[in-house]
Structure 1
Amino acid sequence: MDTSPALLAIIGLLLALWTAGAVWVMLRATGREQKSVASRKAAQRLSRMIEEGPAIPMLVRADGRIEAPDRLARWIGLEKVPDYLSELAGADGRGLSEDQVEELTRYVRRTQKTARPFRMAITVSPGSGKSLAMQGTLADSAVSPGGAALIWVFDFSESEAELTQLREEAARAREDFGALVGLIEAAPMPMWFRGADMHLRLVNKAYVAAVGAESADQVVADQIDLVETVNGRTAAQVAQQAADRRQPIERIVSATIDRARRTMRVTDLPLVGEGIAGYAVDIEEMEEQAREFRAFREAQRSMLDQLSIGVAQFDSAHRMTFANQPFHRVFSLPPGVVNDRTTFQHMLLIARENGRIPEVRDFPAWRNELAEWFQHDEPHEEAWSLSDSTHLRIVAQPLPDGGLVMIAEDRTEQLALSATRDTLLRTRTATFDSLFEALAVFAPDGHLELWNRGFPGAWGIDPEALDGHPQAEDLLNAVAKNLSDPSAISRINQVIRAATLDRKKSDGRVELADGRTLDFTGVPLPDGNGMLTVLDVTASRQAEEALRERNRALEEADAVMTRFLANMSYEFRTPLTSIGGFAELLTSGIAGDLTPTAKEYAQAISLSVGKLTEQVENVLDLSQSEAGLMPLRKTKLELMPFVTQIVRKQEDRILEGGLTLDLRGDPGKTITADPQQLRRAISQLLDNAINGTPRGGRILIDIGRKRGETKIVISDNGRGMSQHELARALEGIRMSADGKGIERRHGLGIPLARQLVEAHGGTLEIHSRKNGGTTASITLP
Structure 2
Amino acid sequence: MIVARFLPLLIGLLLAAWTVAAAWAVLSARARERRTENQLRSARRLGRMVEESPALPLLVRSDGRIEASLRLAQWLGLDAVPQYLSELDGKGRGLPKEKLEELTEAVRRCQKTAAPFRMVATPHGSTRSLALRGHLADPQVSPGGAALVWVFDFSDSESELNRLREEAARARGDFHALVSLIEAAPMPMWFRRADGELQLVNSAYVTAVGAASAEAVVAGRVELIETVEGLTPAQVARQASAKNAPIERVVHTTIGGQRRALRVSDLPLGEDGIAGYAVDIEDMEEMSRSFRAFRDAQRALLDQLSAGVAQFDAKRRLTFANQPFQRLFRLSARNMQDQPALERLLDAARDAGRVPEVRDFPVWRREKAAWFSSEDTQEEAWSLPNGTHLRIVAQPVPDGGLLLIVEDRTEQLRLSAIRDTLLRTRTATFDSLFESIAVFAPDGRMQLWNRRFAADWGLESEFLDTHPHIENLLGKIAPRLKKPDEAELVGNVVKAATLDRTERGGRIALADGRMLEFAGVPLPDGNGLLAVLDITDSQKVEDALRESNAALIEADAIKTRFLANMSYELRNPLNSIGGFAEMLQAGLGGDFNDAGRDYISSILEASGELGEHIDSLLDLSQSEAGLLPLKKEEIDVMPFVRGVVEERA
1:104 aligned onto 2:95: no
Aligned to 2:212: 214
Structure 1 residues 95, 396: CA separation in 2 closer, same or farther (over 3 Å shift)? same
Q: Tell me the TM-score normalized by structure 1.
A: 0.53
2:453 aligned partner, one-letter code = F
2:253 aligned partner, one-letter code = A
Give the Cα–Cα distance (whole angstroms) in 2 for the partners of residues 121 and 515 of structure 1. 129
Alignment check: 8 A CA contact 1:107 1:118 kept: no
Aligned to 2:173: 175
2:416 aligned partner, one-letter code = S
Aligned to 1:310: 308
Give the Cα–Cα distance (whole angstroms) in 1 for the partners of residues 535 and 497 of structure 2. 22
User: What does 1:380-459 align with in structure 2 at a 5 Å threshold?
Assistant: 380-401=378-399, 403-441=401-439, 450-459=448-457
Structure 1 residues 46, 473: CA separation in 2 closer, same or farther (over 3 Å shift)? same
Aligned to 1:79: 79
- TM-superposed CA distance for 1:303, in Å, is 0.8
User: What does 1:189-208 align with in structure 2 at a 5 Å threshold?
Assistant: 189-208=187-206
User: What does 1:147-186 align with in structure 2 at a 5 Å threshold?
Assistant: 153-186=151-184
- TM-superposed CA distance for 1:457, in Å, is 1.7
User: What does 1:221-370 align with in structure 2 at a 5 Å threshold?
Assistant: 221-315=219-313, 320-333=318-331, 338-340=336-338, 356-358=354-356
- TM-superposed CA distance for 1:330, in Å, is 3.2
- TM-superposed CA distance for 1:494, in Å, is 9.6
Give the Cα–Cα distance (whole angstroms) in 1 for the partners of residues 441 and 215 of structure 2. 82
- TM-superposed CA distance for 1:329, in Å, is 3.8
2:181 aligned partner, one-letter code = L
Give the Cα–Cα distance (whole angstroms) in 2 for the partners of residues 43 and 226 of structure 1. 77
What is the RMSD computed on CA atoms of the aligned residues?
5.5
- TM-superposed CA distance for 1:170, in Å, is 0.8
- TM-superposed CA distance for 1:76, in Å, is 2.6
- TM-superposed CA distance for 1:344, in Å, is 5.3
Alignment check: 8 A CA contact 2:58 2:66 kept: no
Alignment check: 8 A CA contact 2:244 2:270 kept: no
Structure 1 residues 364, 78: CA separation in 2 closer, same or farther (over 3 Å shift)? closer
Aligned to 2:512: 514
2:76 aligned partner, one-letter code = I
Give the Cα–Cα distance (whole angstroms) in 1 for the partners of residues 294 and 101 of structure 2. 87
Give the Cα–Cα distance (whole angstroms) in 2 for the partners of residues 107 and 504 of structure 1. 123
Alignment check: 8 A CA contact 2:54 2:153 kept: no
- TM-superposed CA distance for 1:452, in Å, is 1.0
Give the Cα–Cα distance (whole angstroms) in 2 for the partners of residues 248 and 317 of structure 1. 28
Alignment check: 8 A CA contact 2:446 2:470 kept: yes
Partner SS for 1:233: coil
Alignment check: 8 A CA contact 2:96 2:123 kept: no
- Tell which deviates more after alignment, 66-75 or 345-354: 345-354
Structure 1 residues 117, 470: CA separation in 2 closer, same or farther (over 3 Å shift)? farther
Q: Unaligned 5+ residue runs, structure 1? A: 1-30, 548-735, 748-767, 773-781
Give the Cα–Cα distance (whole angstroms) in 2 for the partners of residues 273 and 485 of structure 1. 112
Alignment check: 8 A CA contact 2:60 2:85 kept: no
Q: Deviations along 1:56-115, whole A, 9 cap, x unmatched?
A: 4375999x9977543332113232345788876666xx635xxx7343355467769999
- TM-superposed CA distance for 1:531, in Å, is 6.1
Give the Cα–Cα distance (whole angstroms) in 2 for the partners of residues 501 and 378 of structure 1. 45
Q: Deviations along 1:208-266, whole A, 9 cap, x unmatched?
A: 22222221111221222221111111111111111111111111111222222211111
User: What does 1:87-126 align with in structure 2 at a 5 Å threshold?
Assistant: 95=93, 101-104=96-99, 107=102, 121-124=120-123
User: What does 1:450-529 align with in structure 2 at a 5 Å threshold?
Assistant: 450-463=448-461, 466=464, 482=480, 512-516=510-514
Partner SS for 1:201: strand
Structure with the larger helix share: 2
Alignment check: 8 A CA contact 1:195 1:275 kept: yes
Give the Cα–Cα distance (whole angstroms) in 2 for the partners of residues 493 and 149 of structure 1. 130
Alignment check: 8 A CA contact 2:96 2:124 kept: no
Q: Which has the higher contact order (CA 8 A, sep 6+)?
A: 2
Aligned to 1:54: 55
Give the Cα–Cα distance (whole angstroms) in 2 for the partners of residues 304 and 432 of structure 1. 44
Q: Deviations along 1:257-280, whole A, 9 cap, x unmatched?
A: 222221111111111443111122
Partner SS for 1:177: helix
- TM-superposed CA distance for 1:386, in Å, is 4.2
Structure 1 residues 519, 143: CA separation in 2 closer, same or farther (over 3 Å shift)? farther
- Tell which deviates more after alignment, 285-294 or 452-461: 452-461
Aligned to 2:561: none
Q: Deviations along 1:368-427, whole A, 9 cap, x unmatched?
A: 665555555544444344454433333344455555444332222212211221121112
Alignment check: 8 A CA contact 1:442 1:531 kept: yes
Q: Unaligned 5+ residue runs, structure 2? A: 1-31, 546-622, 638-649
- TM-superposed CA distance for 1:200, in Å, is 1.3
Structure 1 residues 67, 445: CA separation in 2 closer, same or farther (over 3 Å shift)? farther
